[in-house]
């Protein structure tokens, strides 16, 4: 892929289902409140992280391109 992504989890939406950990165990972790956080907010583009965002039941994960801020997920409509 070659791009750098900025990954965020909206903690007001996260329900702690841990689906992100299931899909991308190296990309996310749960904190003491059982809410998800990216292991690093800026990371190389990663299909598993994208899959985690797509599968999040609360739609709490957003991914943007690190250099431009353009939406990767959810995509701009």
Could you report the per-residue pLDDT of 57-68, keeping only the tens digit for each?
999 999 999 999
Closest Cα to residue 35, out of 61, 62, 65, 55?
A: 61
Could you report the per-residue pLDDT of 31-59, keeping only the tens digit for each?
999 999 999 999 999 999 999 999 999 99
> What's the rounded Cα separation, in Å, for the pair 16 and 42?
21
> What's the rounded Cα separation, in Å, for the pair 75 and 64?
9
Predicted TM-score (pTM) of this structure: 0.92
What stretch of H or E contains 65?
A: strand 61-65
Domains of the chain: 4-73 (3.30.70.20)
pLDDT confidence of residue 75: 87
């Amino acid at each position: 892929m070659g791009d750098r992504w900025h990954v965020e989890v909206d903690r007001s939406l996260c329900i702690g289902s841990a689906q992100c950990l299931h899909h991308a165990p190296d990309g996310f972790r749960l904190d003491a409140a059982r809410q998800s956080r990216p292991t690093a907010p800026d990371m190389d583009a990663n299909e598993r992280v994208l899959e985690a965002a797509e599968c999040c039941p609360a739609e709490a994960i957003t991914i943007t391109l690190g250099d431009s801020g353009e939406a990767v997920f959810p995509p701009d409509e």
